[in-house]
Copies of this chain bind each other. A is one copy, B any other.
Amino acid sequence: MKRRLLLVSNSTLYGGGYLDHCQQEIKQFFGDHVKKILFVPYALKDRDTYASTARKKFTSLGYELDSVHEAADPVEAVKRAEGIFIGGGNTFRLLKTLYDHKLVSEIQRRVLVDGVPYMGSSAGTNVSTISIHTTNDMPIVYPPSLDAIGLVPFNINPHYVDPDPNSRHMGETREQRILQFHEEPDTPHVLGLREGSMLLVEGHKATLLGSTNARLFPRGEAATEFTPGSDLSFLLTD
């Protein structure tokens, strides 16, 4: 399997600029071979501004960037893409728009069959997994399904946060929400990627990268912590 994925928890880390905290990983991931990235801005309303932010960053890293929302035929744009980057925003809006433009299966084919490298950040990481059942976002629109592109057979929770021991807020903690997900039948493992964390997938190998630990919620077992550099390839065998 040719699959190559860089799945980033968050686009901006506290105190830094857009994608600053993962720029070395981005350059290593797309390498010298890819010249132009196809950007998917559907998670935010203002696609022009979003594409210009992404273009500025990728240009500074030595890549050209086309935004799929400027393409006359989005499916055709995906068919020709050398590399794909789906940015963050609202996960429901993003997935619905991917379905509206018939891009879900086409992106899956390009990445899993043709080996086109796929980078996702935040909502773009959610949609790369088996489903968006573990997004943090508000369901502002209703997608035709919560099944997503399915590039990996498990779920990710981006922006994972630990409970705040000083909080007086009584809404569910993130961990409680994920445990509620696992109360439902046949739900897969959930990898909680804290801000600063990312997962690199190359074929059947998965490696945790970044500056923070990740918290894995295996279905029906206690959660465990993994340090950067950990081999998480076992998540890829469903």
**A207 interface residue (CB < 8 Å to B):** no
In the bound complex, how far is the Cα of B134 from the Cα of A1, in angstroms?
40
Q: Which chain B residues lie closer than 8 Å to A137 at the CB level?
A: 172, 177
CA distance A135 to B180 in the complex (A): 15
B136 touches A142 (CB 8 A): no
Type the 1/0 row for A186-199, where 1 means its CB is closer than 8 Å to any CB of B: 01000000010000
A33 near B: Cβ within 8 Å?
no
- Asked if A229 lies at the interface with its beta carbon under 8 angstroms from chain B, I say no
Q: Is A146 an interface residue (CB 8 A)?
A: yes
Q: What is the chain B residue whose CB lies nearest that of A195?
A: B170
**Which residue from chain B places its CB closest to the CB of A132 in the assembled complex?**
B139
Structural contact, B10 and A178, CB atoms closer than 8 A = no
A contact residues, total (Cβ < 8 Å): 39
Cβ of A45 within 8 Å of any chain B Cβ, yes or no, is yes
- In the complex, what distance in Å separates the CA atom of A134 from the CA atom of B11? 24
Residues of B within 8 A of A142 (CB): 145-146
A133 interfacial by beta-carbon distance below 8 Å:
yes
Copies of this chain in its oligomeric complex: 2
**Distance A11 CA – B172 CA, assembled complex (angstroms):** 12
Give the residue name and chain of the B residue nearest to A145 (CB).
B142
Whether the Cβ atoms of B90 and A140 lie closer than 8 Å is no
Say if the beta carbon of A138 comes within 8 Å of chain B. yes
Chain B residue at minimum C-beta to C-beta distance from A136: B171
Determine if A138 and B180 form an interchain contact, defined as CB atoms under 8 angstroms apart: yes
Instruction: Pick from B45, B170, B181: contact of A180, CB below 8 A.
Output: B45
Tell whether, in the assembled complex, residue A170 and residue B138 are in contact, meaning their CB atoms are under 8 Å apart.
no
Interface residues of A in 165-185 (CB under 8 A from B): 168-172, 177-178, 180-181, 183-184
Q: A10-B171, A135-B139 are in contact. List 8 more A-B contacts (CB 8 A).
A: A11-B170, A12-B170, A134-B138, A136-B171, A137-B172, A139-B146, A140-B177, A159-B171
Can you spell out 13 A-B residue pairs with CB atoms less than 8 angstroms apart?
A: A11-B170, A12-B170, A93-B180, A93-B184, A135-B139, A138-B180, A138-B181, A140-B180, A142-B145, A159-B169, A159-B171, A161-B171, A169-B195
Residues of A within 8 A of B (CB): 10-15, 45, 89-90, 92-93, 132-142, 145-146, 159, 161, 168-172, 177-178, 180-181, 183-184, 187, 195
Listed from nearest, the 5 A-B pairs whose CB atoms lie closest are A14-B168, A159-B171, A138-B177, A140-B181, A45-B183
